[in-house]
Amino acid sequence: MSDEFMLDTDDLQRRMDGAIASLRTEFASLRTGRASASMLEPVMVDAYGTKTPINQVGTVNVPEPRMVTINVWDKGLVGKVEKAIRESGLGINPQLNGTIIMLPIPELNEERRTQLTKVAGQYSENARVSIRNIRRDGMDQIKKAKSDGMSEDDQKVWEGEVQEMTNKYISMIDAQLETKQAEIMQV
């Protein structure tokens, strides 16, 4: 391989790992019929003039399989937390009890399960797009090096390496999507 050109595969891999981590976070927020504190992670509350995660304005607990509670520390934020949950699209109706917000998790019907699998599919497609964008960045670096004098053989080797890495991450996304969809559809 060319002495002058060294593709930073560690950077590409780190960025692809980031796309996978982001997908996992999005999948954790999808409701599967069981109560989970992680389902509230993407919900941001307008607190003190800035968007703040729910777990930074109160304590999130799961006291029973179909209930999540949030003990809001500042009484003035209870309404804002309730509003953020209602507007989050989680399909949960918060119930107030002083500074405690209770979130009963209803059983998922077949229609809602189907909707959630479609949302999971959208999340995974966004992750695939991120991976392909990272691949394109790597390929652009290789093309630039080719125009700067890299041999065609070296170009093919580097392109093969980037494509192999891309295929590996795309298959990881597909496997995670399949697992999540099975989890959602499980009654």
Delineate the domains of the chain, giving CATH numbers in brackets.
9-27+109-185 (1.10.132.20), 34-104 (3.30.1360.40)
Question: Six-digit token pair at 118?
Answer: 């479609």
Question: What pLDDT score does 187 carry?
Answer: 64
- 145 neighbors 38 (Cβ within 8 angstroms): no
pTM for the whole structure: 0.69
Question: What pLDDT score does 33 carry?
Answer: 65
**DSSP state, residue 53:** E
Angle between helices 152-185 and 110-147 (to 10 degrees): 170
> Alpha helix (H) ranges present in the chain?
9-28, 78-86, 110-147, 152-185
- Residue-level pLDDT, tens digit, the chain, 187 residues: 445 678 888 999 999 999 999 999 888 777 666 777 878 887 889 988 899 998 899 999 998 888 899 999 989 899 999 999 888 777 788 999 888 999 988 777 888 888 888 889 999 999 999 999 999 999 999 999 888 888 899 999 999 999 999 999 999 999 999 999 988 887 6
Question: What pLDDT score does 59 carry?
Answer: 92
Question: What pLDDT score does 138 carry?
Answer: 94
Q: Which amino acid is at 166?
A: T
Whole-number percent of the chain with pLDDT over 70: 96
SS3 62: strand
